[in-house]
Amino acid sequence: MRLIGFSVTNYRSITMAHKLPINSSTILIGQNNEGKSNILNALTTAMGIIRFYGASNTTRIIPRHRLRNLYDWERDFPVQLQGKKTSQNSIFRLEFELTVDDITEFKTEIKSNLNGTLPIEISIGEELLPAFKVLKKGPGGTTLSKKSSKIANFIGKKIDFIYIPAVRTAKAAVSVVEQMLEDELATLEEDERLIKALNDVAELQKPILEKISQRISEPLKQFLPQIRNIEVKISEEARYRALRRSCEIIIDDGIPTSIERKGDGVKSLAAISLLRGEKLKGRASILALEEPESHLHPSAIHRLKEVIDELSKEHQVVITTHCPLFVDRVNIGTNILISKNTAKTARKISEIRDILGVKASDNLVHAKLVLIVEGDEDKKSLTDLFNFHSAPLKNAIKTGLFIIDTLNGASNLSYKASMYHATVCMTHAYLDNDDAGRKAIQKAEDDGLLKVRDYHLVICNGMPDAEFEDCLNFELYKDAIQLEYGVNLDTASFRNNKKWSNRMRETFLSQAKGWSESMESKVKYTVADCISKNPELALNEHKRSSFDALMVSLEEKVSK
């Protein structure tokens, strides 16, 4: 089972947020005080009510103070609507998608059929008496609504909901662990050894409790003669509960220290990372995170993004943020834009930039994907080659969805990648396979700015180091070099396994020509002009594999 849609009416600042899609990863984006936290709190309230509602046969016996922890009418119903003639209830609608096994279990337990989705509505007002109904059309919906407690209990058994607020105190971090402990340790309660051990504990406690009961009873009887007896007891459930929940988190970073004495950033990471890989057998889970970037150093935020991406493979993750890094740049529709207390699904990357206040340069207004290369010559050559060899990339370049930018030095890779993350762009790098290129890629990976899927190195078989020009057909440009610089490339100095710029340098020097960085740039532009004139002949069939792999990856990203 998984949650696929959520709507809320009249909750705090949100008067209407209709049919928000919930995916494996859903990002609520907006600036401060725009309502994104209220959307997340509304979802937390709705899931909490389902849990309480399903725990008993009727909502009327749920302790009011426990519900008030989730919903307080004076706090949570829009202030501007209190006292008016409009409905005085907050309304939450959730739509769940059921697996084939869920449908079979639902039929067995609820004695009703479903077609694969279960839409429910929860309405709650000042009286704190939740009304629960199933939003199915026809007589079937009425019948299902009469079984609301059973259905809520069914959902509660199938989905765990964990909320981690923006202010992550030590208590909040420990509460996440306690909840996990309770779920896991509860499985021991059928074990005969634990049952016997707790019975032994009860026997040991019995004389002490009887003694305390007697000490209370005797003096009270003097003032209240009608009292017959007083008994101090520890219930069996309380004994089990005490074993399930009590814990302390000790973090050893050289000195073992309680999490209560750690900084907010550590508490934040602890609360989130504890969920990594956690998934109860047979249960789905929703993890709600409010501003996961809070209290964290920028480098830690990048690493946390990777953890959240990993969590979304096992959990449904819903986060609020105003940090561009957490934006889903591939699946734009998973980003929910919150502005002026309204919510809508993002359709264009420019909408996300606007709401985050990202000021993109002219060439980035529509850009969704940026390819980072080392120099202007690479940019020119690759643009011509993409236009010739790939219709999807040609169209993306034409419409501005895909651009190519330069580093002017491999060491600038991390800076450029970070800059494009801030402007909500996907990034991909294509660097020379030499010492500088390899170090730049490694640093970007270590900084959490690039993953393996986000870069290619120019690798040519039989060459320990290689650069883009090594992928090219030698016959394409040798005459142009001879004509322009008077240098013959049909020599032994140019035919070895060193990278292109080293071979070209040795060839120029062997023929009494000067060589410098500016000369290297001029020669590379000459080669780039040859590519523009004959792109169909440009690539060396035996050394073009890195270019082909790059093109496939870029086409895949553009198609998304």
Q: Encode pLDDT of 261-312 as tens digits.
A: 666 556 656 666 655 545 545 567 888 888 888 767 766 777 778 778 888 8
By the 8 A CB rule, do 471 and 539 touch?
A: yes
Residues 6+ apart with CB under 8 A from 92: 6, 7, 8, 9, 11, 42, 43, 45, 46, 49, 121, 122, 123
The pLDDT of residue 59: 41
The pLDDT of residue 355 is above 60? yes
The pLDDT of residue 420: 87
The dotted CATH code for 2-22+35-158 is 3.40.50
Task: Of 332, 199, 151, 173, give the one whose Cα is nearest residue 260.
Answer: 173
Q: What letters, b where the CB count within 10 A reaches 16 and e where it falls short, cover 209-232?
A: eeeeeeeeeeeeeeeeeeeeeeee
Q: How many residues does the chain have?
A: 560
Structure confidence by residue, pLDDT tens digits, 302-346:
777 877 888 888 889 999 988 888 888 778 889 999 988 788 899
Region of poorest pLDDT, from 7-21, 351-365, 386-400: 351-365
Structure confidence by residue, pLDDT tens digits, 191-234:
888 888 888 888 998 898 888 878 777 776 666 677 777 777 88
Kindly state the DSSP code that residue 313 receives in the 8-state scheme: T
Region of poorest pLDDT, from 175-184, 289-298, 519-528: 175-184
Is the whole model's pTM more than 0.75, yes or no? no
- Across the range 137-143, mean pLDDT stands at 74
By the 8 A CB rule, do 301 and 324 touch?
A: no
The pLDDT of residue 57 is above 50? no
Cα–Cα distance, 61 to 58 (Å, whole number): 6
Cα–Cα distance, 441 to 456 (Å, whole number): 9
What residues does each domain of the chain span? 2-22+35-158, 176-261, 359-560
Task: Of 269, 245, 247, give the one whose Cα is nearest residue 168.
Answer: 269
The single-letter code of the amino acid at 304 is: L
Query: Who has greater pLDDT, 113 or 452?
Result: 452
Region of poorest pLDDT, from 170-174, 191-195, 348-352, 370-374: 170-174
Cα–Cα distance, 17 to 10 (Å, whole number): 9
Structure confidence by residue, pLDDT tens digits, 403-444:
999 997 888 899 889 888 888 888 999 999 999 999 999 999
Residue for token digits 């009469």? Answer: 146
| Angle (CA) 234 51 54, round 5° | 90
